[in-house]
């Protein structure tokens, strides 16, 4: 997203009373749709024509259960794909799992299992290629009803099942096998390192705050989750869209078929469409759940980190930890002698960083972004 969400998440990650789930829906989409964790949120949640992807009732129920199991620290009931994502490496609480694994996994097995993104792509493509059904059946054979037979025989049973029940799959035999092997590999990880998972469960269950940081969920999907988690708050964390766009396009290069202006228009259109949709859905939800939503801006957190953090804790009704690891993190990140690159968080001059887009974007590009994103910019409280 390039909206500074990592810094926002660290507010809770550095609190010893909290557990931070870092982008857990990345693992969710890998497990149930075969989508790589690096896939852009907009590519997951929108069609090519920017129509939002609608979840079926069954998919919503599965998503709700994922949240409930995460909030209850029931890691054993979560998809084994959580081993492949930053959930267990980024979290100050759950990284005990990573440390445990490193003592026994000297070959680095966890990082050697690629996700089947080249097979399934986005949610739309995944559905078209029937990846959810294939993954579900693969889990049936390898998890729910494991066969004490070879991988090839398991693959043969699954292939016959699919050929008999699903038509027009659009997948090759090689792609079938890739999905099946993915399931078997991650489940093998779960089995081999169960003792490490138990350490993470124990630490998680002892925390006061259970925080989930995610970009991969539309606001319109949130109501059912709220209904099943009545003590849940939603922090709506935003950044000036011009800052996000400037950060995103800085790593893109024009080509013979796509000019810089094309990149600017496409990036601004997708971003501000998704932000507009979320704002509209949030306003509807706020009317029904008036004390659930908390607004937090990236710019406020950077310019007044301690004051902003204290206000968030006040609204949550939790004692602010005061001088803590968060303070040390702020000092390290916002007063760094060296910056750690485009995808890092360390900045030598944070106030300059948040307004860098004003000089980074050429006037013609800035005017185009302002035209496309005008409504969202004003609604978020920013000025043109």
**What's the CATH code of the domain at 272?**
3.40.50.300
pLDDT score for 72: 93
Instruction: Let me know if residue 140 belongs to a domain.
Output: yes
pLDDT score for 297: 92
> Which range has the worst mean pLDDT, 3-17, 24-38, 161-175, 360-374?
161-175
- Residues 186, 324 within the same domain: no
Instruction: Give the whole-number percent of the chain exceeding pLDDT 70.
Output: 79
| Residue keyed to tokens 């964390």 | 237
pLDDT tens digits, one per residue of 299-337: 998 888 888 889 999 999 998 876 577 777 777 777 665
Instruction: Let me know if residue 2 belongs to a domain.
Output: no
pLDDT score for 339: 53
pLDDT score for 246: 93
- Residues 236, 180 within the same domain: no
Mean of pLDDT over the chain: 81
DSSP 54-78: PPPHHHHHHHHHHHHHHHTT-GGGS
pLDDT score for 371: 97
pLDDT band at 141 (very low <50, low <70, confident <90, very high): low
Distance of CA 62 to the CA centre of its chain: 17
CA–CA distance, 383 with 10 (Å, rounded to integer): 28
User: pTM for this structure?
Assistant: 0.83
Structural element, H or E, at residue 329: helix 325-334
Residue pair 210/75 in contact (Cβ under 8 Å)? The answer is no
Q: What residue numbers bound the domain in which 129 lies?
A: 23-205
Q: Of 171, 187, 205, which closes a domain?
A: 205
Please determine, for residue 238, whether its predicted confidence score (pLDDT) is greater than 70: yes
Residue pair 265/313 in contact (Cβ under 8 Å)? The answer is no
- Residues 180, 256 within the same domain: no
pLDDT band at 105 (very low <50, low <70, confident <90, very high): low
Instruction: Let me know if residue 15 belongs to a domain.
Output: no
pLDDT band at 198 (very low <50, low <70, confident <90, very high): very high
Q: Of 166, 190, 205, which closes a domain?
A: 205
Reading the block at residue 360, the tokens are 């980074």
pLDDT band at 159 (very low <50, low <70, confident <90, very high): low
- Residues 288, 167 within the same domain: no
Average pLDDT for 270-295: 93
For strand 18-22 and strand 209-213, is the pairing parallel, antiparallel, or unpaired? parallel
Q: Of 182, 205, 228, which closes a domain?
A: 205
- Residues 315, 288 within the same domain: yes
- Structural domain count, the chain: 2
């Amino acid at each position: 997203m390039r909206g500074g969400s990592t810094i926002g998440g660290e507010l809770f990650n550095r609190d010893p009373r909290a557990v931070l789930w870092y982008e857990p829906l990345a693992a969710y989409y890998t497990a149930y749709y075969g989508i790589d964790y690096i896939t852009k949120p907009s590519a997951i949640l929108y069609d090519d024509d920017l129509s939002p992807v609608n979840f079926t009732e069954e998919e919503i129920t599965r998503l709700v259960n994922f949240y409930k199991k995460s909030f209850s620290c029931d890691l054993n009931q979560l998809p084994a794909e959580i081993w492949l994502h930053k959930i267990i490496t980024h979290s100050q609480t759950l990284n005990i799992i990573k440390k445990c694994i490193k003592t026994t996994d000297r070959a680095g097995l966890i990082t050697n299992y690629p996700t089947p993104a080249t097979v399934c792509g986005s949610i739309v493509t995944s559905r078209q290629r029937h990846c959810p059904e294939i993954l579900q059946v693969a889990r049936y054979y390898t998890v729910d009803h494991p066969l004490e037979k070879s991988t090839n025989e398991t693959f043969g049973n699954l292939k016959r099942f699919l050929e008999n029940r699903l038509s027009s799959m659009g997948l090759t035999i090689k792609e079938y096998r890739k999905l099946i092997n993915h399931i078997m590999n991650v489940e093998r990880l779960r089995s081999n390192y169960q003792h490490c998972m138990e350490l993470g469960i124990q630490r998680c269950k002892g925390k006061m705050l259970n925080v989930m940081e995610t970009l991969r969920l539309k606001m319109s999907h949130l109501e059912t989750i709220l209904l099943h988690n009545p003590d849940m708050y939603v922090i709506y964390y935003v950044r000036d869209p011009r800052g996000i766009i400037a950060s995103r396009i800085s790593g893109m290069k024009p080509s013979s078929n796509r000019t810089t202006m094309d990149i600017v228009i496409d990036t601004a259109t997708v971003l501000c469409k998704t932000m507009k949709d979320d704002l509209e859905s949030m306003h509807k939800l706020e009317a029904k759940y008036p004390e659930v939503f908390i607004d937090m801006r990236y710019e406020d957190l950077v310019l007044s980190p301690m004051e902003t953090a204290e206000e968030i804790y006040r609204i949550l009704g939790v004692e602010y930890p005061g001088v803590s690891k968060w303070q040390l993190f702020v000092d390290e990140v916002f007063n760094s002698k060296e910056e750690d690159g485009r995808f890092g968080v360390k900045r030598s001059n944070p106030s300059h960083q948040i307004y860098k887009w004003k000089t980074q974007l050429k006037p013609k590009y800035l005017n185009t972004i302002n035209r496309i994103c005008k409504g969202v910019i004003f609604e978020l409280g920013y000025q043109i």
